[in-house]
Amino acid sequence: MIKTTKVGGTRKKVLDMTGFLAVVAVFLLYMVPFALVLLNSFKKKRDIIKNPFSVLTEKGYTLDNYVKAFDKMDFLKAFGNSLFITGLATILVIVFSSMTAYYFTRAKNTFSKVFFAMMAASMIIPFQAIMIPLVSIYGAGLSILNHRLTLVFMHTGFAMSMSVFIYQGFIKSGIPISLEEAAYLDGASKVKTFFAVVFPLLKPTTATLVILNVLAFWNDYLLPSLVLGRKELYTLPLSTYAFYGTYSADYGVIMAALVLTVAPLLILYLFLQRHIIDGVVAGAVKS
């Protein structure tokens, strides 16, 4: 008996070790593309072409790629546009979707039912089935493309259904109506009651939705490419794309541009890792 446990123990250890090494190997494989981009962003073109794996270079390392990429892709401008659009759209989605979801849960009338059903059903519509009429209405019809606020408006609209859905599930199961009634009887208005009593209780869901929406807005390419046609309005993905088209043969500069583009989110990830992972899982499981 004791002997078998012991044998089982050693065998388990060996298995654990093999498992660990397998995970490490797969992990390294997953990370290689990032490592290569980072490594080559500091190298000169000749060295990159000769051997993208080489750590030792003939021509030496350089920061020129970064200087050039930063300047030529108008990094600060694009970063600012991304920040403005993502920030404003996220705030609007959070405010409007939480209020809408609250209304849907508490006022069970025809309006609520119809719009809730429409939002739920709309989640299966692929963006491709909307983009052409969208451009037709807002471009040819209203002529309001090429404004950052138009993009903010559209981001907000597209994010509504998922956000309302997740908020609604949380409010329905987690917010007791008695709390609001107490505040309401104390003379607070409905709006005041919502922001003072209900909204703070939604914090975990709000955190989840902020993370999901920020990631979606920040990284989106297709919608911004349809709305923003002028260079000075470009978000980071748009300016990366345009930049790549012009400098595609200049590998070092391209690699530097890619590092610059992903750096803001990766730095954020370094600090908010736990929250981001939790938020993403919660979002996927609830919707």
Partner 1 sequence: MGRKTGEKIKNLCIFALPGCLIFGAVVILPFLYGFYLTLTDWDGVSKVKHLVGAANYMAAFSDTAFWSSMGLTLKYVVISVVLVNAVAFLLAYALTNGLKGQNFFRAGFFTPNLIGGVVLGFIWQFVFSRVLVNLGETTGWGLFSTSWLSDPDKAFWSLVVVTVWQLSGYMMLIYIAGFTGLSTDVLEAASIDGATGFQRMRRVILPLMVPSFVICLFFTLSRAFMVYDVNLTLTGGEPYGTTKLVAMYVYDKAFTSRNYGVGQAEALFLFAVVACISGVQIYLGKKKEVEA
CA of residue 58 relative to chain centroid, distance:
39
Count residues near partner 1 (CB under 8 A).
87
Q: Report the distance separating Cα 219 and Cα 231, nearest Å.
A: 17
Looking at residues 53 to 92 of the shown chain, list those that interact with partner 1 (rule: CB under 8 A).
Answer: 53
- Do 160 and 97 form a contact (C-beta atoms < 8 A)? yes
**Which residue in 62, 72, 74, 112 binds partner 1 (CB under 8 A)?**
112
Q: What one-character-per-residue DSSP string does 64-76 give?
A: HHHHHHHHHTTHH
Q: Is residue 20 a contact point for partner 1 (CB under 8 A)?
A: yes
Looking at residues 172 to 201 of the shown chain, list those that interact with partner 1 (rule: CB under 8 A).
Answer: 190-191, 194
- Do 204 and 169 form a contact (C-beta atoms < 8 A)? no
Q: Is residue 124 a contact point for partner 1 (CB under 8 A)?
A: yes
Structure tokens at 35: 């490592």
**Which residue in 1, 2, 56, 107 binds partner 1 (CB under 8 A)?**
107
Q: Is residue 284 a contact point for partner 1 (CB under 8 A)?
A: yes
117-148 b/e with 16+ CB inside 10 Å = b? eebeeeeeeeeeeeeeebeeebbeeeeebeeb
Minimum Å distance from CB 81 to partner 1? 14
Q: Is residue 131 a contact point for partner 1 (CB under 8 A)?
A: yes
Span near partner 1 by CB under 8 A; candidates 64-72, 170-178, 180-188, 235-243: 235-243
Minimum Å distance from CB 222 to partner 1? 6
Looking at residues 203 to 232 of the shown chain, list those that interact with partner 1 (rule: CB under 8 A).
Answer: 215, 218-222, 226
Residue 202 φ then ψ, to 5°: -85, 5
Q: CB count, 10 Å around CB of 76?
A: 10
Minimum Å distance from CB 125 to partner 1? 6
Span near partner 1 by CB under 8 A; candidates 12-20, 59-67, 69-77, 171-179: 12-20
How far does the chain reach from its first CA to its final CA, in angstroms? 50
Q: Report the distance separating Cα 25 and Cα 234, nearest Å.
A: 39
Q: Write down the residue that tokens 């919502």 correspond to.
A: 194
Minimum Å distance from CB 35 to partner 1? 11
Q: Write down the residue that tokens 């209304």 correspond to.
A: 103
**Which residue in 7, 25, 76, 132 binds partner 1 (CB under 8 A)?**
132
Q: Is residue 273 a contact point for partner 1 (CB under 8 A)?
A: yes
CA-based nearest residue to 147, from 90, 85, 86: 85
Q: Is residue 137 a contact point for partner 1 (CB under 8 A)?
A: yes
Q: Is residue 36 a contact point for partner 1 (CB under 8 A)?
A: yes
